[in-house]
Amino acid sequence: MTSRRVVRLPDGTSVPALGQGVWMMGDNLRKRAAELAALRAGVSAGMTLIDTAEMYGNGRSEKLVAEAIQNTPRESLFIVSKVLPSNADRARIFRSCDDSLRNLGVFYLDLYLLHWRGGVPLSETVACMEELVKGGKIRRWGVSNFDVEDMKELWRVPDGSHCAVNQVLYHLGSRGIEYDLLPWLTEHKVPVMAYCPIAQAGELKSELYASPVLKKVAQRHQATVTQILLAFVLRSGHVIAIPRSSSAEHTTENAAADGIELTPADMEELDGAFPAPKTKTPLDIV
């Protein structure tokens, strides 16, 4: 099965709009079998984009992904990892990338992200990313947790406009990026990768799941609240969602959101209950 929704990257590559995240996975051996089953169920359902990071469990999440994909053809997957800001300089980034490749059991990353802004000049990090591309270690690079001013600064750096993705927190209860960041990224043809798209780490999770409006919209589509939350994030065609799931059942539920199209009436109700901000708001980060 292939994902029905895709998002086009700046270089023309199409990736599944609905992928999988592994934040806070790989740390508990008692959960490992269920987590492996969840990731494999996602791949089977077309969620072949998998996002991890060197920070997640100090490489343990990357190793979990390696085990989950060991019998899957590499070319059918889109593997994303992230480098810590403290490792994003010339002295450390190449070793970090090699460590991630070794943990993941792959020869290249499809996408390598700077996890957040740090003290290393963007020009240095970008130059190193470009070297990794030329060396075949990564296919493309991007950033995470960058707001509009960060993106504008990146665009002023040599080769900074080669950025393929900006990964930020985005869900129905956290719509701040819609005010200025999402329009800027859309104008510059840089897709958003939404982490916590079903508010796994958001304070609004209980409020979202208890919302009568969300329940009504879900019932209308014979869907779950989780599926509606994912359909909301995916609706524009410019956003990739990477929900985390530690069970095959929940992963299968997530995958089914790919076929849900929210109607104007749905959006009117959701906007009324969870309006987008009318002024600039700080970027939510977890």
pTM for the predicted model, two decimal places: 0.95
DSSP string, 232-263: HHHTTSSEEE--B-SSHHHHHHHHHGGG----
The reported pLDDT for the residue numbered 81 is: 98
- pLDDT class of 1 with cuts at 50, 70, 90: very low
The reported pLDDT for the residue numbered 221 is: 97
Kindly tell me if the per-residue pLDDT of 205 is higher than 80.
no
Of 56, 112, 170, 195, which is the active-site residue? 56
- Interval 104-134: pLDDT, tens: 999 999 999 999 999 999 999 999 999 999 9
- Taking alpha carbons only, the member of 193, 131, 135, 200 closest to residue 162 is 131
Kindly tell me if the per-residue pLDDT of 19 is higher than 80.
yes
Report how far residue 267's alpha carbon sits from residue 235's, in angstroms, rounded to the nearest whole number. 10
- Interval 175-194: pLDDT, tens: 999 999 999 999 999 999 99
Q: Is-catalytic flag, 195?
A: no
Q: What's the CA angle centered on 51, arms 47 and 53, to 5 degrees? A: 165
Q: Is 115 annotated to bind ligand?
A: yes
The reported pLDDT for the residue numbered 200 is: 72
- pLDDT class of 20 with cuts at 50, 70, 90: very high
Q: Are 236 and 280 in contact (CB under 8 A)?
A: no
Mean pLDDT, residues 7-16: 97
Cα→Cα distances 286→135, 145, 182, 203, Å: 32, 9, 18, 11
The reported pLDDT for the residue numbered 24 is: 87
- Interval 32-88: pLDDT, tens: 999 999 999 999 999 999 999 999 999 999 999 999 999 999 999 999 999 999 999
- Taking alpha carbons only, the member of 263, 277, 274 closest to residue 213 is 274
Mean pLDDT, residues 80-106: 98
Mean pLDDT of the residues in the chain: 95
Kindly tell me if the per-residue pLDDT of 204 is higher than 70.
no
Class of domain 6-273: alpha beta
What are the extents of the domains in the chain? 6-273
- Say which residue, 2 or 29, is predicted with more confidence: 29
Kindly tell me if the per-residue pLDDT of 218 is higher than 50.
yes
Mean pLDDT, residues 277-285: 91
Alpha helices in the chain (DSSP H): 32-44, 60-69, 93-104, 122-134, 148-155, 181-187, 205-209, 212-220, 225-234, 248-256, 264-273
The reported pLDDT for the residue numbered 238 is: 95
